[in-house]
Amino acid sequence: MYTRLLKFVAFGLSLALMLAACNIPTSEATPAPDAGVTFVVATLSAIETATASVPTPEPATASPTATLPAETALPPATPQNPLVVKDALCWQGPGAVYEVTSSVKTGARVELLGRGSTGAWWIIRNPIYHDPCWVEADVLQIEAGYDLSGLQVFYPPPTPTLTPTQTSTPTVTPTP
């Protein structure tokens, strides 16, 4: 029991000394701050000052009598990464006569580069090789309201020509 009381007193005394040590005033002068810390603090302070001095624009308030004329149109929107709505192949040109370069998966977002001159085809940035490729129009979901008239029109490359392969024809020699 005595050792228990002694441990308790020793613990209390240690705790009291630690707490008192945190609040002891020192007669020494405050040491000079580290030059690196001073530089960082000065930089952060300058950034705060520069940010704080930039005036923030006041929000425009519309008067209750102001109305937009009916002919005023909103600025045209630019297409931004249409959604792929079904798995599809990415072609070198519009259709099966061209080589398949890769594929696009449902749910992916692709970069729209232009539209095909031959109808229902869009040209996107190939998600694997990052060059243009052709996909059918029903594969992409383009958000309503986008002005697509400014897109580049792509013309199909020349169709690949197949090299005919020679087949051997057996010759029949008559027997006498």
In a 3-state reduction of DSSP, which class is residue 46? helix
| Spacing of C-alpha 147 from chain mean position | 22
Strand partners of residue 146: 77
- The Cα-based distances of 147 to 76, 80, 82, 155, 161 in angstroms read 6, 11, 13, 20, 37
Tens of pLDDT, residues 157-174: 998 776 666 766 667 777
Residue with the bigger pLDDT between 63 and 3: it is 3
Q: What pLDDT is recorded for position 160?
A: 78
Residue with the bigger pLDDT between 48 and 16: it is 16
Tens of pLDDT, residues 57-74: 555 555 444 444 444 444
Q: What mean pLDDT comes out for the span 36-53?
A: 46
Q: What does the alpha-carbon distance between residue 138 and residue 134 come to, in Å, rounded to a whole number?
A: 12
Asked whether residue 143 carries a pLDDT value surpassing 50, the answer given is yes
As a whole-number percent, the residues of the chain with pLDDT over 70 amount to 50
Mean pLDDT of the chain: 72
Least confident of 20-24, 28-32, 108-112: 28-32
Q: 129-165 burial, b for 16+ CB within 10 Å, e for fewer?
A: eeebbbbbeebbeeeeebeeeebeebebeeeeeeeee
Neighbours of 104 (CB within 10 A): 22
Q: Which residue has the tokens 């810390």?
A: 37
Which domains can be identified in the chain, with CATH numbers? 83-154 (2.30.30.40)
CA terminus-to-terminus distance, the chain: 131
Asked whether residue 44 carries a pLDDT value surpassing 50, the answer given is no
- Judged on CB neighbours under 10 Å (0-12, 13-18, 19+), 32 is exposed
Q: What mean pLDDT comes out for the span 17-43?
A: 52
Asked whether residue 124 carries a pLDDT value surpassing 80, the answer given is yes
